[in-house]
Amino acid sequence: MDAHRSVGPSSVKYVDVSNSFSALDFVDDEFGGNQAVKRCFSLSHSFRGKTLIIEDIPSAGIIDEEHIELLQINSGYECKDLKRLSFWRTRIGSPDGIEHQTNDDLIGYAILKLDHLPGKADKWHIFEAAFKKYEHEHNCVPCPGNYNVNILDKRFTAKAILYCQQNGLNKACAHVALRSLLSRLIPQQDISYKQLNEIAAQYSASPYRPADGLNIQQMQEVLKAFGVKYADLDYDKISKYDPAIRTAIPYQKYLYAGIESGCGGLLGFSMSGPQAKDGRHIIPFYGHTFNKDTWAPDADVNYFNIGGGVGYIPSEVWTSSFLGHDDNFGPNFCVPRLYVSPEQVQYVVELKRGSAQYGGIVAEAQALQFLYSLNPQLNLQNVWLKRLQYCSLPHVQQVVLRAICISREEYISHLESLTDWDNQTESANIIDVLIKYLPELLWVVEVSIPHLFPANEHKLGEILLNALQARDSKKSIDYKLFMLARFPAKYFLLDSVNQHGPSFLMIPSQLISHTPVFRTTQ
Amino acid sequence: MGKFRPGKYREAYFLEIDCETNANHVLSVYICTLRECNTMTVTYSSPKIAKEMSRQFGSSAQTVKVEMKYTKEVGHFIHRVESAQRDTVGSKLVFK
């Protein structure tokens, strides 16, 4: 699937983009003023980019496939130009110069196509681009993709989330948003628009026209076809019989759970503003920022009430912005978490890890119930358990929960690596048992308390749920999901359940105080 | 695990044998009323971990009864989420 990124150039140009270079003039003159291309130059500028290499390249792989598809849609179609732009932190002025460059020197690349249709103005669009995230530690992009690209016939790897732009011909915003997220999740590591359109065409009541976009069913079928599990909600439809749905089940929870699990999410919304077109737009999200000084949790603005006065502080309240692409405007934007108003949001999708059977919002609610039910059993002799017990009392409910879906191996490796505030580590015997008896995929709902979570990024433990076990919707409590709860000095394991309720086995943990939260690979 | 032949069964009884101790000890029995059982399922459960932990940490393990709280509230919330997600299946809302 890398063929279109691996082709060698037919001609090369080196542009010095430091000092007096004007990106706006350059993009206006060379690329029809394309806004998304301007954004690529802005990103390069943020990394103090020094050189732009422009390669004329032949089409190959999935770009070839796209040309065939476009000719079928419109026999007069022609790709009049195809260029690969790469942005560098270093000065490069000759082919020899590339030999000394490393992946760290590459800020990002973009493949640009000039589409020609008879009777219409030629139009540039970005077939794909991949730019590094900002290096700030609070700019979190879990599990970025690795995109191999040849520049002047030397192979580089861009660690990023693929950005793609619609062309209004064979792909709309929904197509490019799906490709952006799927390309790093599926084993083939990329998808072509031809594949995507073939799936969507099967679920079209009228003759299928890719330029008209995709409906929710078509997006669901694409995800299913690539074996990607998801949890989604059509607010537009559900709000017709449940008017409070947008506040009861906020869209941010879906996005955050997908992002933290390394899969991302999609947000569909109606547009507003002076340049808004009719219709709805959908964009991918894949990361978030973290602001430990945010005021919102203290002000109870973002306390999440699941109903009946039961609630908690979701960890996403320390997220100032979600990181995402907008195909109209370019890659790697920060979209403030509360910027898109709930009334505007029509649809949200949380992409789930592996074969996870339920989403993060259900995992957090289920874990919350176990935590609050275990509250009377927390031993007050341990100061951290005492604090946790206080924060999880019915009249306090100030616990912080963070749900992440990870593999058994990731969890075990995390547990093995933990050293608590008192320099204690977990017993090898416990870890040996967990390696044997935990399922392959887990929802790990981390439990923390205010101040400890934002200031130290530490937690007091976690509740593990079996992510591969489908929840029995007929049961009010599905005990089969529960695997264990770990708190300072204690594990709780489900021993048995009878008509009087559950019994839990308590065993000691060598971790007696707080530990760092789980961090996904960045 | 006993031998299991793929095919159609109206009911299937899954017996899980503790292979670790080779003691033919039945850990749990699941009675399934499935129309078709084509594959052998491996189940993971907290009681299984509890049993093993109890074996290893018998002297320091302690069993406590717990009263589950907020069953109605959590159940209602999860039901609301699940039914909203079910009703989203096959929606025709278009994004372009």
Q: Which pLDDT tens digit goes with each residue over A448-481?
A: 999 999 999 999 999 999 999 999 988 889 999 9
Q: What's the rounded Cα separation, in Å, for the pair A304 and A314?
A: 7
Closest CA to A254 of A142, A350, A140: A350
Closest CA to B70 of A373, A499, A327, A296: A373
User: Which residues of chain A neighbour B72 with C-beta distances below 8 Å?
Assistant: 308, 476
User: Which residues of chain A neighbour B49 with C-beta distances below 8 Å?
Assistant: 433-434, 437-438, 483-484, 493
Q: Say what the pLDDT of residue B25 is.
A: 34
Question: Is residue B1 pLDDT above 50, yes or no?
Answer: no
Residue pair B80/A471 in contact by the 8 Å Cβ criterion? no
Q: Which two tokens stand for residue A452?
A: 């400890």
Question: Which residues, numbered 29 to 88 in chain B, qualify as contacts with chain A under a Cβ-Cβ cut-off of 8 Å?
Answer: 44-50, 52-54, 56-57, 60-82, 84-85, 87-88
Q: Say what the pLDDT of residue A522 is.
A: 65
Q: Say what the pLDDT of residue A331 is.
A: 97
Residue pair A260/A402 in contact by the 8 Å Cβ criterion? yes
User: pLDDT band at B59, cuts 50/70/90?
Assistant: confident
Contact B89 A220 (CB under 8 A): yes
- The 3-state DSSP class for residue A377 equals helix
Q: Say what the pLDDT of residue A379 is.
A: 77
* Burial bucket for residue A212 (CB in 10 Å: 0-12, 13-18, 19+): middle
User: Which residues of chain B neighbour A504 with C-beta distances below 8 Å?
Assistant: 63-64, 66
In order of A192, A320, A408, the CA distances from A457 in angstroms are 40, 16, 22
Q: How many residues does chain B have?
A: 96
Higher pLDDT, A298 or A334: A334
For residue range A224-261, what is the model confidence (pLDDT) as tens digits? 999 999 999 999 999 999 999 999 999 999 999 999 99
For residue range A13-34, what is the model confidence (pLDDT) as tens digits? 999 999 889 999 999 999 999 9
User: pLDDT band at A521, cuts 50/70/90?
Assistant: confident
Contact B57 A507 (CB under 8 A): yes
Q: Say what the pLDDT of residue A302 is.
A: 65
Question: Is residue B4 pLDDT above 90, yes or no?
Answer: no
Q: Which two tokens stand for residue A195?
A: 């594949």
Higher pLDDT, B4 or A138: A138
Q: How big, in percent rounded to 5, are the helix, strand and coil portions of chain B? A: 35, 20, 45
Amino acid at A7: V
* Burial bucket for residue B21 (CB in 10 Å: 0-12, 13-18, 19+): exposed
Q: What's the rounded Cα separation, in Å, for the pair A510 and A162?
A: 43
Residue pair A375/A392 in contact by the 8 Å Cβ criterion? yes
The average pLDDT across A192-214 equals 95
Residue pair A87/A112 in contact by the 8 Å Cβ criterion? no
Q: What's the rounded Cα separation, in Å, for the pair B24 and B18?
A: 6
For chain B, how big is the Rg over CA atoms in Å? Answer: 21
For residue range A381-433, what is the model confidence (pLDDT) as tens digits? 899 999 999 999 999 999 999 999 999 999 999 999 999 999 999 999 999 99
Strand-pairing partners, residue A465, are A443, A482
Type and span of the H or E element at A369? helix A360-374
Q: What's the rounded Cα separation, in Å, for the pair A437 and A487?
A: 19
For residue range A86-139, what is the model confidence (pLDDT) as tens digits? 999 999 999 999 999 999 999 999 999 999 999 999 999 999 999 999 888 788
Q: Say what the pLDDT of residue A84 is.
A: 98
Alpha carbon A144 to chain centroid distance?
9
User: Which residues of chain B neighbour A304 with C-beta distances below 8 Å?
Assistant: none
Of chain A, the percentage scoring pLDDT greater than 90 comes to 88
Strand-pairing partners, residue A305, are A311
Checking ipTM against 0.95, whether it exceeds it is no
- Compute how many other C-beta atoms are within 10 angstroms of the C-beta atom of residue A23: 18
Residues 6+ apart with CB under 8 A from B28: B16, B43, B45, B47, B48
**Residue whose entry in the numeric block shows the structure tokens 């195909």:** A327
The average pLDDT across B68-84 equals 96
Instruction: Find the closest chain A residue to B87 by CA distance.
Output: A238
Least confidently predicted of A218-232, A363-377, A383-397, B40-54: B40-54
For residue range A351-366, what is the model confidence (pLDDT) as tens digits? 999 999 999 999 999 9
User: pLDDT band at B9, cuts 50/70/90?
Assistant: very low
Of chain B, the percentage scoring pLDDT greater than 90 comes to 48
Q: How many residues does chain A have?
A: 522
Counted across chains A and B, CB pairs separated by less than 8 A come out at: 210
Q: Say what the pLDDT of residue B21 is.
A: 38
Closest CA to A348 of A282, A435, A297: A282
- The 3-state DSSP class for residue A430 equals helix
Among B47, B62, B67, the residue with its CB nearest the CB of A494 is B47
Question: Is residue B26 pLDDT above 70, yes or no?
Answer: no
The average pLDDT across A203-220 equals 95
Residue pair B85/A233 in contact by the 8 Å Cβ criterion? yes
Type and span of the H or E element at A385? helix A383-391
Residues 6+ apart with CB under 8 A from A73: A169, A170, A210
- Compute how many other C-beta atoms are within 10 angstroms of the C-beta atom of residue A496: 15
Residue A258: phi, psi to the nearest 5?
-65, -40
**Structural domain boundaries in chain A:** 1-168, 172-352, 366-516
Q: Say what the pLDDT of residue B10 is.
A: 46
Of chain A, the percentage scoring pLDDT greater than 70 comes to 97
Q: Say what the pLDDT of residue A474 is.
A: 87
Residue B93 forms contact with A (CB below 8 Å):
yes
User: Which residues of chain B neighbour A172 with C-beta distances below 8 Å?
Assistant: 95-96
Instruction: Find the closest chain B residue to A473 by CA distance.
Output: B79
Q: What angle do CA B63, B64, B70 make, to 5 degrees?
A: 140
Q: What's the rounded Cα separation, in Å, for the pair A183 and A171?
A: 16
Q: Nearest CA of chain A to the CA of B76: how many Å?
A: 8
Q: Nearest CA of chain B to the CA of A203: how many Å?
A: 9
Taking the alpha carbons at both ends of chain A, their separation in whole angstroms is 23
**Strand pairing category for A310-314 and A400-407:** parallel
User: pLDDT band at A276, cuts 50/70/90?
Assistant: low
Q: What's the rounded Cα separation, in Å, for the pair A424 and B64?
A: 26
Residue pair A334/A206 in contact by the 8 Å Cβ criterion? no
Q: Say what the pLDDT of residue A20 is.
A: 87
Question: Could you please report the per-residue DSSP string of A252-302?
Answer: HHHHHHHHHTTS-EEEEEE--STTPPSSEEEEEEEEEE--TT-STTTTTTT
The CATH number that domain A172-352 falls under is 3.90.70.10
Q: Say what the pLDDT of residue B24 is.
A: 36
- Compute how many other C-beta atoms are within 10 angstroms of the C-beta atom of residue A276: 10
User: Which residues of chain A neighbour B57 with C-beta distances below 8 Å?
Assistant: 429, 507-508
Residue pair A504/A484 in contact by the 8 Å Cβ criterion? no
Q: Which of B82, B88, B92 to mutate to test the interface with A (most CBs of A within 10 A)?
A: B88
Q: Say what the pLDDT of residue A189 is.
A: 81
Q: What's the rounded Cα separation, in Å, for the pair A357 and A167?
A: 35
Q: Nearest CA of chain A to the CA of B18: how many Å?
A: 12
Among A237, A238, A494, the residue with its CB nearest the CB of B46 is A494
User: pLDDT band at B17, cuts 50/70/90?
Assistant: very low
Closest CA to A213 of A224, A197, A230: A197
